[in-house]
Amino acid sequence: MNGEHSPQAFQAVVLFGPPGSGKGTQAKLLVERLGLPHVSTGDMLREHIQLGDALGLQVREVIKAGNLVPDELVIRLVEERLNRPDCRPGVLLDGFPRTIDQARILLGMAEGRGLRLLVIHLKVDYDVITARLTGRRICPQCGTLYNIRLKPPIVPGRCNIEGARLIVREDDKESVIRQRLVAYDAQTMPVLQFFAERVDFFEVDGSNRKPEDLSDEIVNWIQTTVQEGKAS
């Protein structure tokens, strides 16, 4: 696909999965290959927290505790973002929707914009998730992700690109990770069924796969699905 889009191929691709399932890593690979803007509600919320604006102050403690931010706040963020011209040919959503209400609204937004919804579920074992998230480190300057066990930086504790001291995300502490998984099970899991019944839906096991292989599989599915859609 390499970023080439025909009007019939306008898509909203949703990367769906528990925290630590590799949505962010896949999003980075897919954005390059599909040429769609990456919209991550987690990243947007963290930007507001860093700015220290009203929204940032409102959501900081909720995120720190591993709970979900109220629907109306994230829906507003996503709606504003989708209204920008770069999202007209489509979008890659990462971390949204996370509740049935968000999913319903997204269905409406996609329909109104002529975007076909394609949902990819990254299934990952919870033990693998905990290992990934407790070892996760992030560069505060460029956002590059590392893992002290699985993908360590060249110089311990320093970003390969920026040389900055790597940090632990506030919500990657073990007790908070547990709460994020509880929130996922209770509020986000039901969204899977909702989508499976309504839109094109693809499930892949991302527990022990190389990100590049997983990305190949996802791109193949997207291409096939879009082609089939055009033919019918």
Query: Catalytic site residue 113?
Result: no
Tokens representing residue 91 in the block:
């979008």
CB of residue 179 to ligand AMP, shortest distance in Å: 9
* Residue from 171, 43, 16 nearest 102 by CA: 16
Rounded Cα–Cα distance for residues 12 and 115 (Å): 6
Site track 13-52 with ligand AMP (rule: CB under 6 A), x = hit: ------x---------------------xx--x-------
Q: Specify the DSSP class assigned to residue 19.
A: T
Residue choice 34, 74, 82, 226 for contact with ligand AMP (CB under 6 A): 74
Query: CA-to-CA distance for 130 and 84, rounded, in angstroms?
Result: 36
Residue 136 is among the residues annotated as catalytic for this protein: yes
Which lies closer to ligand AMP via its Cβ, residue 1 or residue 65? Answer: 65
Q: Are 222 and 229 in contact (CB under 8 A)?
A: no
**3-state SS class at 173:** coil
Which residue, among 152, 188, 223, 225, has the nearest Cα to 1 in the 3D structure?
A: 223
Catalytic residue selected from 28, 169, 173, 209: 169
Question: 171, 200, 204, 214: which one contacts ligand AMP (CB under 6 A)?
Answer: 171
What's the rounded Cα separation, in Å, for the pair 96 and 109?
13
Among the candidate windows 96-104, 117-125, 139-147, 197-205, which touches ligand AMP by CB under 6 A?
96-104
Catalytic site residues?
23, 98, 136, 169, 180
Using CB under 6 A, list all residues that contact ligand AMP: 19, 41-42, 45, 62-63, 66-69, 74, 95-98, 102, 171, 180
